[in-house]
Amino acid sequence: MRFLKIFFLLIVFFLLKAACIHSEELPVITVGPERYGKRVVNIVPFSGEKGAEVSNLVKRALNHHLVILALESSSLSSTDPTLTGTISHREGAYLFRGELVEPILGKRFNLKAEATTPSLLACALADKTMELLTNYQGICLSKIAFVRRTSRGDELIVADFLRQNFYRVRTAELILFPKISPYGKKIAYLV
């Protein structure tokens, strides 16, 4: 009787095992490594007044995006997009004239930008480069709000995308959930 019970249990086990084998399939990996690769952009240092500073800021701004890797280059590349140009200062504004060369598609984009400060000019150039290469809108003109906890309490701090201009909005014992309005003019938080 004991052998009969073991025999029936083995038969049930093998039947269930066969049913489970047919219902399970091996997982298929559908994502290739190229989907997570960053788009490389070469930036030739800009000529003119504040050219080196603006080219470094553009490189920094593009590297803060997740889909672009900006590198400093001394000449045009045969495979990667290259940004070149000149900066001039006239009547309190910085002017950029240059081009973005996309050798794989065989396209040349003429770029013109104007701003009052080098950092705003770099943000405008980074946003335009991002939009031309990836069809996504750039976010360099965004502001970032965060809370820094210290031993004396919390500090609500707002910074620009390049992480250059930090300013303290408020200090309190406890600050929660900072959020900037869609137009960047107001900030909401709980105290």
Q: Taking Cα atoms as reference points, which of 150, 148, 183 lies closest to residue 167?
A: 148
For residue 22, name the pLDDT band (cuts at 50, 70, 90).
low
The Cα 87–Cα 104 span in angstroms is 27
User: What pLDDT digit, counting tens, does each position of 89-111 carry?
Assistant: 988 899 999 999 988 888 899 99
Whether residue 136 contacts residue 117, with contact meaning beta carbons closer than 8 Å, is answered with no
Q: In the prediction, which pLDDT does 16 show?
A: 66
Tokens (6 digits) for 182: 């869609």
Q: Give CATH for domain 36-134.
A: 3.30.160.150
H/E stretch holding 171 reads strand 167-172
Whether residue 103 contacts residue 80, with contact meaning beta carbons closer than 8 Å, is answered with yes
Domain residue ranges in the chain: 36-134, 143-190
User: What pLDDT digit, counting tens, does each position of 52-81 carry?
Assistant: 899 999 998 888 877 787 888 776 667 888
The Cα 43–Cα 133 span in angstroms is 14
Q: What percent of the chain has pLDDT over 90?
A: 17
